[in-house]
Chains A and B, each alone.
Chain A
Amino acid sequence: MAQLIPFTYRPGNSLLHRLDVRLKFFTICLISMSLLSAHLPACGGYALVLVFFFKTAGLNVWETLNSMKYFMLLLFFVFMARVLTVPGDILFVFHDISISEQGIMEGGLVAFKFFLVMVTGLIFSTTTKPSSVKSAVQWFLKPVPFVPEKRVAVMISLSLGFMPVILKQAREISNAQKARCADLQKNPIKRILRLVFPLLKKTFLSADSLVLAMESRCYTDDRTDPEFTPSGNERCFFAGTVVLCLSLVCF
């Protein structure tokens, strides 16, 4: 899974690794909302804060940027769409396409904001254990009426466990098909069917065994609530986040 997805959890002992996951989640939401109304100087300042946290979390900036290349393509598309559509003082005209100063500024700022929000999320996912994410989701869902938060937490755990198994089986089936020259098949529907149906059948049959195993162990929704271990830095971190968000909104 980690080979395929670059932004999986990386163990460490930095401030971000040790923080209470509930605060981290709340912080990300707050910062993401504040960034939407931020101007360029504030975004630049926040980028420096992110570089600092990258270093303290032991992450490599260039490696992460390289892993984000497809998302960067999407951002370039957002930038170009703004550049070509926002009216203003014309900088230059190429055939019928006019490019304005305001378009470049607005496009650059919007793309930069999306980039910052995305990198904030990446720092969160690389410094937070999947089991902690599951616990936080369960905790946040607890006050929501009509949502069985413990069952949702079980489903999250199960789905995180299923993902590497499905990927491994997909790779095995794909290799088996290639060995039988199935990749020469031109009919696209047959190609989809030959990969997906065996994959679904295999995983659903193994899921049936899991259901039996859970039943035989008297599984119920009445499970012990997760425990959270705050690091002691939460208050300072929260105060810093509030100051940061106010700066983002005001400047």
Chain B
Amino acid sequence: MNTTSQHLKMTVYTALFVAFIAIGAFIAIPIGPVPIVLQNMFVLLAGIILGPVWGLACVAIYLLIGLAGMPVFSGGTSGIGRLFGPTGGYLLGYLPAVFVTGSISKGLGKKMSSDILAMLLGTLIVYGAGVPWLKVVTAMSFGKAITMGMVPFLPGDILKIIAAAVIARRLRPVIKL
């Protein structure tokens, strides 16, 4: 495949992942009392499937269209207000998270174990950006911010990471990147 073809393919795949991240907030799997929402799983998958650069472009475009007023953030919201709001840190944290996830996965040879490690670090980066932001906006203590903005979501995140690693292993032969 020549370079133009490869670029075109990556352009379309990146747009596809932008759409998946946007609608990920609306695809919920009812497990237990709280349904699992798949948005952050698609962010991490974008990193390990598209690689660090295209994955970063994918998340940047997602944030850009949300910032520009398209209702793609969770709850069908959009705009600069969402980035300044309590959950803005999580959204901005997707940028370094997808880059690090993609870099580690690529650097360690795209094996299932390296994908899991990459996504674990990516998830920690999302919380690393989201929890301090939540603390600042809501003026709560750091301990409370961790208890409310991180701990309840960790079991679901672990399930999503395992599922994403399996999906990536099955998807790579299909899309032949």
Q: How far is the CA of A122 from the CA of B175 in the complex (A)?
A: 37
Contacts of A78 in B (CB 8 A): 85-86, 137-138
| CB–CB A124/B38 < 8 A | no
| A70 at the binding interface (Cβ < 8 Å) | yes
Q: What is the minimal beta-carbon distance from A229 to any residue of chain B, in angstroms? A: 18
| A53 at the binding interface (Cβ < 8 Å) | no
Interface segment out of the listed B89-97, B106-114, B125-133, B159-167: B159-167
Q: How far is the CA of A22 from the CA of B84 in the complex (A)?
A: 21
Contacts of A243 in B (CB 8 A): none
Chain A, residues 39-50, CB within 8 Å of chain B (1/0): the string is: 000000000000
Contacts of B120 in A (CB 8 A): none
Chain B, residues 15-35, CB within 8 Å of chain A (1/0): the string is: 110111011001101110000
What is the chain B residue whose CB lies nearest that of A24?
A: B69
Q: What is the minimal beta-carbon distance from B61 to any residue of chain A, in angstroms? A: 6
| A167 at the binding interface (Cβ < 8 Å) | yes
Q: Which of A112-127 contact B (CB under 8 A)?
A: 114, 117-118, 120-122, 124-125
| B174 at the binding interface (Cβ < 8 Å) | yes
| CB–CB B162/A133 < 8 A | no
| CB–CB B140/A32 < 8 A | no
| CB–CB B69/A167 < 8 A | no
| CB–CB A25/B68 < 8 A | yes
Which bucket holds chain B's interface residue count? 35 or more
| A130 at the binding interface (Cβ < 8 Å) | yes
| A188 at the binding interface (Cβ < 8 Å) | yes
Interface segment out of the listed A91-99, A192-200, A233-241: A192-200
Contacts of B117 in A (CB 8 A): none
| CB–CB B8/A36 < 8 A | no
Contacts of B14 in A (CB 8 A): 155
Contacts of A215 in B (CB 8 A): 5, 8
Q: Which of B23-67 contact A (CB under 8 A)?
A: 23, 26-27, 29-31, 36, 38, 41, 57, 61, 64-65
| A180 at the binding interface (Cβ < 8 Å) | no
| A203 at the binding interface (Cβ < 8 Å) | yes
- A117-B81 contact in complex given A81-B138, A201-B171, C-beta closer than 8 Å: yes
Majority secondary structure of chain B interface residues (helix, strand, loop or mixed): helix
| B71 at the binding interface (Cβ < 8 Å) | yes
| CB–CB B80/A29 < 8 A | yes
Partner of A122, one of B29, B38, B77: B77
Most buried by B among A6, A159, A183, A207: A159
Q: How far is the CA of A155 from the CA of B19 in the complex (A)?
A: 10
| CB–CB B85/A204 < 8 A | no
Contacts of A6 in B (CB 8 A): 71, 76
Contacts of B71 in A (CB 8 A): 5-8, 125
Q: Which of B143-170 contact A (CB under 8 A)?
A: 144, 159-160, 162-163, 166-167, 170
Q: What is the minimal beta-carbon distance from A60 to any residue of chain B, in angstroms? A: 16
| CB–CB A201/B31 < 8 A | no
| CB–CB A200/B167 < 8 A | yes
| B101 at the binding interface (Cβ < 8 Å) | no
Q: List 20 A-B contacts (CB under 8 A).
A: A5-B26, A28-B79, A32-B84, A68-B77, A117-B79, A118-B77, A121-B69, A136-B68, A154-B11, A155-B61, A158-B16, A159-B16, A159-B18, A167-B23, A192-B29, A193-B163, A203-B20, A207-B12, A210-B12, A214-B12
17 further A-B contacts with Cβ under 8 Å, apart from A85-B141, A121-B82, A204-B175, are A4-B26, A7-B77, A25-B68, A110-B137, A114-B81, A114-B84, A117-B80, A122-B78, A124-B69, A125-B71, A130-B70, A166-B23, A193-B163, A193-B167, A200-B171, A201-B171, A210-B12
Top 7 closest pairs, chain A to chain B, by CB: A121-B79, A117-B81, A158-B15, A81-B138, A162-B19, A5-B76, A159-B18
